[in-house]
Amino acid sequence: MSRRAREHKAWRFNVGAGVILLMLFAASGCRGSQNVLNPGGSQASHISNLWWFYFWITVSIYCLVLIFLISAIIRTTRKPFVPAGSREVLPTNSDEERRKTIFIGAAIGLSLATLFVLFLADLFTGRSLHSLRAADALTIKVTGHQWWWEAVYEDQVASNQVTTANEIHLPVGKPVQIKLASHDVIHSFWVPNLHGKKDLIPGHPTTLWIQADKAGVYRGQCAEFCGHQHAHMRLLVVAEDEEYFQQWLSRERSNAHIPETENQIHGEKVFLQTTCVMCHAIQGTVANGKVGPNLTHVANRRMLAAGRIPNARGYLAGWILDPQHLKPGVQMPQHNLSSDQLQALLDYLESLN
């Protein structure tokens, strides 16, 4: 391959890389409910601003490198070609060598200055992330299990505490303290639109402060591989106005809905007389299991099985009968229920709102 052909190939490679970079940039602009570049709170805004700052700095450097590379290729093609093995010595230009030395020194200095600026930006962003505090903030203890999330809204009055699963509600515009813990293995709590990742290490509880500035539903995810169903360990964060949040909190504090119809009463008996009662709790009944999610107001939740399936009657039936098919490895066993028992149990669970 001739030298000119190699240079042309290198030029095409760099142009292609530039096109790919632009495509990635376009893709990163996609908005969504699980996107660090679509912040819904002050903490996520700091992270997003840092990302964009880094992005434009690196894009500028990449463009400069391309410009100098193309310039060097053009300059080289204008020089006389010296075949390999030739003993001919090209004349040197001391002024040109001096300019090159100065240019290289300036480039090194600019690189160091750029790295220092990036370091300062990261430092100040980190300080901003840790500045969010409030004396009377809402406190939620979030515990990671394989593979679901338990959320307990703490209160000095024990009867006012609320326990739910895989769905967290927050008041808009107020700092919230999240106490993080793990029940089994290392997990990582990550709601990209509201904050960065925070690891949950067994035996080492930690805290995270978040604030949602815009109402909406934000998706979260365990960001640390924690076993077979790691990808299906999701959660939803619902940010709502203070009035709606207080209404939700008041409903969650109440006991479970008392069954009214004959089928609902039968469904409650099925729940309390099978293995369901050994793992799940329903406030206001004798069911007080701690292995699985609290089901006191399960009908109000948007998703089931930590985001694996929507909360709809058909999916709920499939989840009860054969959870291993939908989420292999989960600790929930199969249930051999008759058609009448299943329909009654579904009626009862759908009444828990």
Instruction: Tell me the pLDDT of the chain averaged across its residues.
Output: 88
The answer on pLDDT for 31 being more than 60 is no
Cβ–Cβ under 8 Å, residues 199 and 275: no
Q: Which amino acid is at 317?
A: A
Tell me the average pLDDT across 309-337. Answer: 93
Cβ–Cβ under 8 Å, residues 66 and 18: yes
% of the chain surpassing 90 pLDDT: 69
Q: Give pLDDT tens digits for 67-117.
A: 888 887 887 776 666 566 666 655 666 777 788 788 888 889 988 999 999
CA gap 122, 69 in Å, rounded: 30
Position of tokens 């006389």? 80
The answer on pLDDT for 149 being more than 60 is yes
Please give the C-alpha separations between residue 23 and each of 17, 27, 28, 57, in angstroms, as whole numbers: 10, 6, 9, 18
Among the residue ranges 64-73, 159-168, 250-259, 260-269, the one predicted with the least confidence is 64-73
User: What is the structure's pLDDT at 93?
Assistant: 66
Q: Give pLDDT tens digits for 265-311.
A: 999 999 999 999 999 999 999 999 999 999 999 999 999 999 999 99
The answer on pLDDT for 255 being more than 70 is yes
CA 122 vs. chain centroid, Å, equals: 20
For residues 106-143, one letter each, b for 16 or more C-beta atoms within 10 angstroms of the residue's C-beta and e for the rest, the string is eeeeeeeeeeeeeeeeeeebeebbeebeeeeebebbbb
User: What is the structure's pLDDT at 313?
Assistant: 95
Q: Give pLDDT tens digits for 213-234.
A: 999 999 999 999 999 999 999 9
User: What is the structure's pLDDT at 97?
Assistant: 77
Which H or E run includes 278?
helix 276-279
Please give the C-alpha separations between residue 89 and each of 1, 93, 96, in angstroms, as whole numbers: 24, 13, 17
User: What is the structure's pLDDT at 343?
Assistant: 95
The first and second tokens of residue 96, run together, are 């040109």
% of the chain surpassing 70 pLDDT: 86
Cβ–Cβ under 8 Å, residues 166 and 174: no
